Structure 1
Amino acid sequence: MDKLSCYKRVFDHFDMDRDGKISPFEVRECIAAVSGEEVSMVEAEEVVGAFDMDGDGGLDVEEFERFVDDIGEEEKVKELRKAFKMYEMEGSGLITAVSLRRTLKKLGEFVSLEDCMAMIAKFDLDGDGVLSFDEFKVMMG
């Protein structure tokens, strides 16, 4: 099954009134099902407004596909942020060789400080000796 067919099946599931569009009400249902988050009707209307390219007040299949892809990207970033927090130096927003070594040790991996420095150096795009969240995303990508 190709990607568009998968989106069409999901689209059809959330197009409760079968009008060929996902309304703000249906967007609320979709967000709750996909992410478990409740959004207000105003927020749902803003979502529809952001993705409704033809201005008809609802999302067609292609617009819905862009919306779902955007939700998926947000979920990935949330998961990466959780992982990043495991490794970062307490509250600094950075992964240092020391914090990397400490976390790896907790996970049962015994790595030297020099090896941790080398791991960081591979993805340290700005050369400051630590990993920011953006550098971590590149590493995990």
Structure 2
Amino acid sequence: MRSNGVGEYEEVFRSFDEDGDGKISPAELRSCMRIIGDEMALEEAEALVKSLDSDGDGLLEMEEFFKLVEIEGGEEEEKELREAFAMYEMDGLGCITPKSLKRMLSRLGASRDLYTCEVMIERFDINGDGVLCFEEFKTMMAI
């Protein structure tokens, strides 16, 4: 992930590093979050910095900041996957059944028969229960 975005992350890091010392303080983190429309209490910023601060200086160096960006990106990806999962999981069972997969594919214009949907699910059904739970769905979407 980082290989494609290092320059972009460095640019964002520099914009957060208001005093140009090569480190982001909790106050700088809070200030920049406010600019992008996300209010953060100083205590929250301090706790976040502390959780990622590997050298204990109370500041985020660039590599530590990259970890923050990756965490935030991972949370967004998880949210998007959960939303997609919910679209396919129509029966209120907390899983994707062959029947719910068939209905959703039909709505998307990619109609399949029930047997084909069963085969599609079987390929990623790790525990063999005939349906896809969220973790199995995540595995399928990663491929």
TM-score normalised according to structure 2 size: 0.86
Alignment of 1:50-129 (within 5 A): 50-129=51-130
TM-score normalised according to structure 1 size: 0.87
In structure 2, the residue matched to 1:135 is 136
Q: Give the distance between the partners of 1:110 and 1:31, measured in 2 at CA.
A: 46
Cα 1:3–1:138 change in 2 (3 A) is same
In structure 1, the residue matched to 2:12 is 10
Cα 1:111–1:31 change in 2 (3 A) is farther
In structure 1, the residue matched to 2:47 is 46
**TM-aligned CA deviation for residue 37 of structure 1:** 4.4
Which residue type is aligned with residue 24 of structure 1? P
Cα 1:87–1:37 change in 2 (3 A) is farther
Name the SS of the counterpart of 2:111 in structure 1. Answer: coil
Q: Give the distance between the partners of 1:94 and 1:116, measured in 2 at CA.
A: 14
Q: Give the distance between the partners of 1:70 and 1:128, measured in 2 at CA.
A: 32
Percentage of matched positions with identical amino acids: 50
Runs of 4+ in 1 over 6 A off after TM superposition: none
Structure 2: 5+ residue stretches without partners: none
In structure 2, the residue matched to 1:23 is 25
Matched residue pairs, number? 139
Name the SS of the counterpart of 2:137 in structure 1. Answer: helix
